Amino acid sequence: MYNIDDDIGTLSEGNDSEKCLYKNVKTKNSDSGHLKEYQKEDTFIESTKPKTILSEESSLKVNNQYTIEHLVKLDKESNLECVALSSSTIKDKQLRDCAMLIYPHVKCLTKYLKEDNLIGPTKARKLMREEIGLDLSVQTVNKYLKMLREKLGPEYSNLDPSVIKNRQLDDLAKFKNLHLECLKEYLKEDSFIGPTEANRKLKKDTSLEVSVSTVRKAMSNLRKEMGLEYSKLDQSTINSRRLADRSKLKDFHLECLKKILKESDSIGSAKARDILYQETDLYVSIPTIYRHLKALKKEMGIENPNIDQSTVKSRRPGCRTKFKDLHLECLRNYLVKDRFIGPAEAKNRIQEDTGLEIGLSTIQKAMTKLRKEMNIERASLDQSAVKNRELKDRAKLKDSHLECLKKYLNEDILIGPTESRNRLQEETNLKISVYAVKRAMLKLRKEINVEYANLDTSSVKDRQSKHRSKLKDAHLALLRKYLARDNFIGPTKAWNLLHEETSLEVHVSTIQRAMKKLRIDMGLEISSLDSSMRNAKSTKQAKLKVSQLKRLKKYLKDDEFIGPMEARNRFEEETGIRLTISNMREYLINIKEKSYNIN
């Protein structure tokens, strides 16, 4: 954990006034309180955001580095756990990474490691981007994975080479003749194709998911089989290929890049590459796109070397969407009707009115600018007016609304104000702030039962734990029945069956954990089952008639490289039969290899 006390002398060395300012800032509890509030509202908060708002609300002037350090310190105080880093290793960029990677993201990486202790940074980065929208470089993710492995102990840091080798062999075993043929075709089309691009094309064509290193090994073997012209590529040839790669960009593609820059002049090379690929079907390397974007920015006069990095690479992909005039007008109207409106309420309303999904920090920045334009400075807001607004909010709560809140509390004494507000809005169409509901619920809790008036953190955590595990004896009995009937059943299928029979809403991971325990209790530990038995059972579960196999053969005639997911979806639409992707993959491979006797 970065400690501000360790480096405060270094940061302000030779500048006594700055050192004095840092020390004075540390002693101001009210300003730390401000930062804590911003952090609670938005755990993805950037250092520039609290610095700006803090200076507006308390007239305190601090620099970005201080706010980053202070946010990291507050993470520790509020049990959000930043990754422990020694102060000697932290530079400006690493501080930004540390401020970005607070507990929710560390928790994700820890979860991935516990699920698969051999997981690589590329896969972890992809999962993190899909689950929480955070896009970090592979190097940054790799750095934090190494730190977490050390933190989790020798089981995760001292990996057995034989285990890694077995994992790689498992990956190689996934390759069938179809996949190798695809790779051969890619090499014939472009002998310089890299493993990353080949892996991307292979996944698109066959839905096969393997690591890049596995594809690299397979391609290396194929190059040797296909002759020296593929295996011994000298540097001059590779450089020529790179030049050819650049020359792929014609005037039409450059016009497309110009259009992309006009829509967003701070767009990154990777995003621009993806958009160009979607619109023109041209796939080139990121460095090539970067060079052309740089040249086009100079040509268009939008080059800005001092651009804030936080605007170039937002940590939430959804927040990159720029506000249009319509959205700004909506926010302006909200402020005209209610100048005390908060960013959370404005975010919900703009989503309802326009369908725009955007981050809280982006809304807050836009509202700050609009307040300045409309001369509604937050610092100058009359406190009596703010109080009157809060009273007005409370006055909206009639007896019928309080009765609803009482009902929610009777059902679940630990229900939160946000969930209560949402339910109240659904049932009564009352639009009110979360804070007003929170205050009303505190009073109602005291009336109902004094012991619940001041809920401690442990009670809330217990409640969250119970919420995640709603499985009763009846549900476990059903799961036991599914396992007795079919020990190979997966958690998703079991979840679907349980939901159909009991309407229970739980996460698939909860079902997975319960099934794992039940298998141990029943002596049916799936890890000890022979993979060939599983495959045989899987095939037995999904036997297709000859007419249905002919239908699949027709799909392959129409499109030789059709993937199992696409085939599965098409098959389900036409026949109403739903197969798993793995079953469909096996059928397609067997049909290609002529394992079935169908004409």
- Cβ atoms of 550 and 598 within 8 Å: the answer is yes
Do 365 and 502 have their domain in common? no
Residue ranges of E strands in 227-295: none
Nearest alpha carbon to residue 99 among 8, 28, 1: 1
pLDDT tens by residue, the chain, 599 residues: 333 334 333 333 333 433 333 333 343 444 455 545 544 444 434 434 444 444 554 444 445 455 555 555 554 444 433 433 333 333 444 444 444 444 556 778 888 888 777 777 777 887 877 777 676 777 778 888 888 888 787 777 666 555 555 555 555 556 677 778 888 888 887 777 777 778 888 887 887 777 777 788 888 888 888 774 555 555 555 555 555 555 567 777 888 888 888 888 778 787 888 888 777 777 777 778 888 888 888 888 875 544 444 443 443 444 444 567 777 888 888 888 777 777 777 887 787 777 677 777 788 888 888 888 888 654 444 445 555 555 555 556 778 888 888 888 887 777 777 778 878 887 887 877 777 888 888 888 877 764 454 555 455 455 545 544 567 888 888 888 888 888 778 787 887 788 777 777 776 677 888 888 888 888 875 544 444 444 444 444 446 778 788 888 888 888 777 877 788 878 877 777 777 777 787 888 888 777 555 65
Tell whether 118 is covered by a domain.
Answer: yes
**Last-in-domain residue among 233, 250, 265:** 233
Q: Which amino acid is present at 305? A: P
Tell whether 136 is covered by a domain.
Answer: yes
Tell whether 424 is covered by a domain.
Answer: yes
Q: Report the run of H or E that residue 32 belongs to, with start and end.
A: helix 29-41
Which phi and psi angles does 321 have, rounded to 5°?
A: -60, 125
Q: How many CA atoms lie within 13 A of 314 on its CB side?
A: 19
Do 13 and 95 have their domain in common? yes
Tell whether 597 is covered by a domain.
Answer: no
Q: What is the pTM of this model?
A: 0.25
pLDDT attached to residue 399: 80
Nearest alpha carbon to residue 585 among 567, 564, 599: 564
**Last-in-domain residue among 126, 156, 186:** 156
- Cβ atoms of 219 and 183 within 8 Å: the answer is yes
pLDDT attached to residue 542: 47
- Cβ atoms of 435 and 390 within 8 Å: the answer is yes
pLDDT attached to residue 62: 47
Do 8 and 146 have their domain in common? yes
Into how many domains does the chain fold?
7
- DSSP character at residue 256: H
Do 60 and 124 have their domain in common? yes
Do 120 and 14 have their domain in common? yes
**Last-in-domain residue among 136, 156, 176:** 156
Domain span including residue 195: 164-233
Do 23 and 91 have their domain in common? yes
- Cβ atoms of 344 and 161 within 8 Å: the answer is no
- Cβ atoms of 359 and 402 within 8 Å: the answer is no
Give CA–CA dist 531/527, Å, rounded. Answer: 9
Give CA–CA dist 214/196, Å, rounded. Answer: 10
Do 441 and 475 have their domain in common? no
Give CA–CA dist 365/343, Å, rounded. Answer: 9
- Cβ atoms of 368 and 376 within 8 Å: the answer is no
435 CB-near residues (< 8 Å, 6+ apart): 390, 393, 417
Q: Report the run of H or E that residue 497 belongs to, with start and end.
A: helix 491-502
Tell whether 312 is covered by a domain.
Answer: no
Do 109 and 81 have their domain in common? yes
Nearest alpha carbon to residue 342 among 436, 269, 409: 436
Do 129 and 25 have their domain in common? yes
Tell whether 599 is covered by a domain.
Answer: no
Do 495 and 406 have their domain in common? no
Structure tokens at 552: 């699949």
Radius of gyration of the chain (CA): 29
Question: How many Cβ atoms from other residues are within 10 Å of residue 564's Cβ?
Answer: 22
Instruction: Report CA-CA distances (Å) from 102 to 109, 112, 168.
Output: 11, 16, 32
Three-state secondary-structure class, residue 201: helix
pLDDT attached to residue 253: 82
Tell whether 328 is covered by a domain.
Answer: yes
Do 8 and 72 have their domain in common? yes
- Cβ atoms of 4 and 69 within 8 Å: the answer is yes
Nearest alpha carbon to residue 20 among 62, 57, 50: 62
Q: Which amino acid is present at 473? A: D
Give CA–CA dist 156/150, Å, rounded. Answer: 7
Residue with tokens 């998703």, as numbered in its chain = 492
Give CA–CA dist 546/482, Å, rounded. Answer: 29
Instruction: Report CA-CA distances (Å) from 153 to 36, 63, 113, 167, 569.
Output: 32, 37, 12, 21, 44
pLDDT attached to residue 345: 78
Tell whether 314 is covered by a domain.
Answer: no
Output the DSSP codes for 64-122. HHHHHHHHHHHHHHTT--PPP--GGG--HHHHHHHHHS-HHHHHHHHHHHHH-TT--HH
Do 204 and 219 have their domain in common? yes
